[in-house]
Amino acid sequence: MLLIVLGIVLIVFGVIYQVKPDLFKRWFWKRTSIAQRLLSPEAYIKYMKGLGWLYIIGGIVLCVIGFAHS
C-alpha cells in the first residue's frame, strides 16, 4: 500500500512539473537552487520537464510493484 501511495505522489509531482515547470522557481522556495543558478531559463525548464518525466515513470513503476505485491 505504501508503494502505491508513493507512486501516486510521484506521478502527481511529475504532472505538476510537466504543466508548470517553473512553479517552484522562486515562488515557493526561499533559496535559489543550484540548477537555477547554473542553467539558463530555457535549459532549466527542459531540466524540470525531464525531471517530471522521471517522476512519472518512477511513480508508475512503484504503483506496478505495489499492485503486484498486494
Q: Is the pLDDT of residue 52 over 60?
A: yes
Q: Is the pLDDT of residue 69 over 70?
A: yes
Question: What pLDDT does residue 49 have?
Answer: 95
Q: Cα angle at 51 between 19 and 64, to 5 degrees?
A: 95
Domain total for the chain?
1
**How far, in Å, CA of 33 to CA of 14, rounded?**
18
Q: Is the pLDDT of residue 70 over 90?
A: no
Tell me: the pLDDT tens digits for 13-50? 999 999 998 877 655 556 677 777 888 989 999 999 99
pLDDT band at 61 (very low <50, low <70, confident <90, very high): very high
Question: What pLDDT does residue 6 have?
Answer: 97
- Domain residues for the domain of 20 are 2-69
